[in-house]
Amino acid sequence: MKKLLLTLLIPFFAFGQQKGQADELYEKYDPKPYVSGFSFGGSLLRALPLDIDFDNGNLERTLNGEIKRIQWLKVSDERYLEEVTRDWQLFLRRAGYRKIELENDDDDLTHMYVRGTRTQFDEAHFLIENDGTTILLTVYGEFTLNKRLHED
């Protein structure tokens, strides 16, 4: 019964969500045995408004928005890791996403690609590379990044 219900609901959520340019990449890699992935959205995410503050010395940034959908791909099979990572990077560049360098304190190498401007965008793709794993995390929605100086 659960399997039947899930089978009926998946197409409803798939057709009810807006398609992003990166969906082509997710459709290509999600069925691969060496890549794991998931996607969720709809009413699950409507309860999660986004409001994050970043403090960097004298500059404070606030990211506001509403998340509409999240997708995730992960490759950890070392036989395919380099090839898949390179393909994901190439796709994001060719698709015209704006690359934003992120400051990282970890050993991970993280890049953010957005569709829109540096301050207003509707897609954010985080490409996270670390030893033996590459993750592509995509967040769809409406986002605004505000900057302001601390008034001390």
pLDDT of 56 reads: 55
Q: Which amino acid is at 10?
A: I
**Mean pLDDT per segment of 10 residues, for the chain of length 152 residues?**
37 46 85 87 61 57 77 93 94 89 68 84 88 90 71 51
Whether the model pTM is above 0.75: no
Within 10 angstroms of residue 135's Cβ, the number of other Cβ atoms is 20
**CA contacts within 13 A on the Cβ side of 49:** 5
The sign of the dihedral angle between the CA atoms of 58, 137, 12, 95 is positive
Torsion of CA 22, 127, 48, 35, to 10 degrees: 70
DSSP string computed for 84-98: HHHHHHHHHHHTTPE
The radius of gyration of the chain from alpha carbons, rounded to an integer in Å, stands at 17
